[in-house]
Structure 1
Amino acid sequence: MRAVVVTEYGVLPVVQEVAEPEVAPGSVVLKVEATGLCRSDWHGWMGHDSDIVLPHVPGHELAGTVAAVGAGVDGWQVGDRVTTPFICACGTCEQCLAGNQQVCPNQLQPGFNYWGSFAEYVAIPFAQVNLVRLPDAMDFGTAAGLGCRFATSFRAVRQVGQVQPGETAVVLGCGGVGLSAVMIAAAAGARVIAVDTNPAALELARQYGAAETLTDASELRGVDITFDALGSNELVQQALRALRPRGRHVQIGLLPDGVQLDVGRLIGQELQWLGSHGMPAHAYPEMLELVAAGNLNPAALITRTISLDETPAALAALSHGTPAGVTVITP
């Protein structure tokens, strides 16, 4: 199969022929129909993830058709249209049995722990608890974005942040995660303020329901909840200063360089710092129902579709900023 292969961190990957993944017991192999280009892929390419072993194939948000079914996987067959969370949980540990697959200590992530979806085929471990059947009306490009950015934002806004109608929610960073959060928070009835330095991203944020857009949040005060959807120490500081007493901050973006916190203010104002990491497969039905009903429109987030051959350059270009909207790759 053809795949994007990283041989050195920070060096332009190449598209080359590699062996197709073999189907193992408990797993399936998918023919990748669409996969998203995400900033987390850039972090991996830059060497920010210790789980990656070179040579490596990135890609972790995907949709496709089942190409092979391993022993012990029931209810799935070749040709089924599916997506999967980027966190492939084991399904048997204490956290999984409690429904918290997104923090499974035995999780495997395509594109990080093993070769991912910037390829024609990808393996999905623990398939019984991680496959999500796609509605017939949903195209693969839309479904690919659900596995990381949209599903991650859905859980961050609705389940972790528990945004309520009438609240003011600030989304800092309007890449794919941030724009998803804007759309989902607005649909939940919040007054959304979107923050980004990219005018094109802010225009999309307005289209997706933001009541106000800003290039800087340093003067904001008294808001109910903030989301760092990018991963920046500077944005975290703006987010925490913007909160009212007993406000909530949800951290979605990765912080590879760490962050400084005014712990005294966290304590004195009784602020909440909440982490949010993905969403388990069993939680997808609520999100899919809202999409089917027209309350959410993840397809609108897609602004660019590229080929596998265009992917190395697009990945490297993330070093200079994130393009507005979501980029989907069709292998």
Structure 2
Amino acid sequence: MRAAVLEEYQEPLAIHDVDAPNPEAEGVVVEMEACGICRSDWHGWQGDWDWLGIQPPKGQILGHEPAGTVVEVGDDVENITEGDRVTIPFNIGDGTCHQCRTGHGNTCENVMPLGFAEPVQGAFAEQLHVPAADHNVVQLPGSVSAVDMAGLGCRFMTSFHALAHQADINAGDWVAVHGCGGVGLSAVHIADALGANVVAVDLGDEKLDKARELGAVETVNASDADDTPEAVQALAGGGVDVSVDALGIETTCRNSVMSLGTRGQHVQIGLSTQDEQGTVALPTDMMVMNEIEFVGSLGMPPTRYNEIFRMVETGKLDPSAVVSETVSLDDVSDRLASMSDFETMGIPVIDEFA
């Protein structure tokens, strides 16, 4: 099968013919119909995240936003059958640890990040093997396309978990989203669906225009603002209730915290770059005095995907609205390179693998 393989960090991925996977007893093989190209793939391609212990090794197949059809099923799989249309969360759990058994599979004690660790080769390939399939595989509703659902493996579901489960959002609350890439635009759309008034913050007018299409009632171009947090606070009448860092650099993290009003809640989605290496200085005294809450959010438990599907079925959410373009497997390296200058908008999706 064809696959895009990481041979050298920051160099074009090599398109190779590699052996197709065989299912383990508790695993399945999925034939790819679509896979999003995510900024997390860019981090892996850059060679980031060694400080987290999840730097992908050379020889790894990247890709962690898959949607496709099950073509082979291991002997011990009980709930998945050939022909099922599925998606797979990026945080592959073992299905047996305490976190998995209590509904928190996104923080599995033995988590393997799809496409970032040798045991779980990624989805920039014609086929993908998924271990512990009864736990990790999520069946898609019959009425949706694989391209529309490709972002569910990471960006869309990550934003949903952050805002619907981790944040404390009430109808009419002000929510700021700092960084309007794929995860940020997803967050704008989801926060709007949850009844919030959304302020979108970015450096690009095109991304801010898209944020307005997805529900933002106000926007701030940080390149034009003398003080981005003050601009956000002014729009929200004294500070937002919830603020999201959807990018992961020091500037957006600090701006997010400083945009909050008293007893506001900061939600960290974006992971950091080589510049921060996982550590950002924060105004802790201000956070204490104003009782600011700092909340982390990672992926989404696979057991809760039906919440997204129910909102899709009733028209409250539309993941396809965040898909920006479809490309072939051969285009992956160009899309990753463009992320270095923040040139991509929304979610590019591979829909041609052969």
Q: Same fold (TM over 0.5)?
A: yes
Residue aligning to 1:310: 331
Residue aligning to 1:8: 8
Aligned match for 1:296, one of 301, 317, 332: 317
Indicate the larger mover: 48-57 or 18-27: 48-57
Which digits, 9 at most, give the CA deviation of each residue in 1:90-139, with x for residues without a partner? 11111111111111121122211132000001111111111111111100
- Compute the displacement of 1:327 (Å): 0.4
Aligned match for 2:243, one of 182, 206, 226: 226
Which digits, 9 at most, give the CA deviation of each residue in 1:257-305, with x for residues without a partner? 1211122122221110000000011101111000010001111111110
- Compute the displacement of 1:49 (Å): 3.1
Distance 2:93 2:253 in 1: 29
**Paired letter, 2:311:** L
Distance 1:30 1:227 in 2: 33
Residue aligning to 2:165: 159
Aligned match for 1:265, one of 267, 277, 286: 286
SS in 2 for 1:218: helix
TM-score of the two chains, using structure 2 as the length reference = 0.91
Distance 1:238 1:314 in 2: 28
Residue aligning to 2:36: 36
Aligned match for 1:188, one of 194, 203, 214: 194
TM-score of the two chains, using structure 1 as the length reference = 0.98
Q: Mind listing any 5+ residue stretches in structure 1 that lack a counterpart?
A: none
Residue aligning to 1:74: 78
SS in 2 for 1:277: coil
SS in 1 for 2:257: helix
Distance 1:72 1:35 in 2: 27
Whether 1:214 and 2:244 are equivalent positions in the alignment is: no
Identity of aligned residues (%): 42
Distance 1:133 1:162 in 2: 28
- Compute the displacement of 1:325 (Å): 1.5
Whether 1:145 and 2:162 are equivalent positions in the alignment is: no
Residue aligning to 1:84: 88
Distance 1:236 1:145 in 2: 23
Residue aligning to 1:248: 265
**Contact 2:34/2:150 (8 A) holds in 1:** yes
Residue aligning to 1:128: 134
Residue aligning to 2:49: 49
List aligned pairs for 1:191-206, cutoff 5 A.
191-206=197-212
Distance 1:325 1:292 in 2: 22
**Contact 2:172/2:197 (8 A) holds in 1:** yes
- Compute the displacement of 1:89 (Å): 1.1
- Please report the RMSD computed on the Cα atoms of aligned residues, expressed in angstroms: 1.1
Indicate the larger mover: 182-191 or 262-271: 262-271
**Contact 1:149/1:180 (8 A) holds in 2:** yes
Distance 2:191 2:18 in 1: 42
**Contact 1:64/1:140 (8 A) holds in 2:** yes
Residue aligning to 2:236: none
Residue aligning to 1:320: 341
Return structure 1 stretches of 4+ with deviation > 4 angstroms.
Answer: none
SS in 2 for 1:320: coil
Distance 1:242 1:319 in 2: 26
- Compute the displacement of 1:21 (Å): 1.6
**Contact 1:175/1:322 (8 A) holds in 2:** no
Which digits, 9 at most, give the CA deviation of each residue in 1:59-111, with x for residues without a partner? 00110000111121112111110111111111111111111111112112221
Q: Mind listing any 5+ residue stretches in structure 2 that lack a counterpart?
A: 223-227, 234-238
Aligned residues, how many? 331
Residue aligning to 1:96: 100
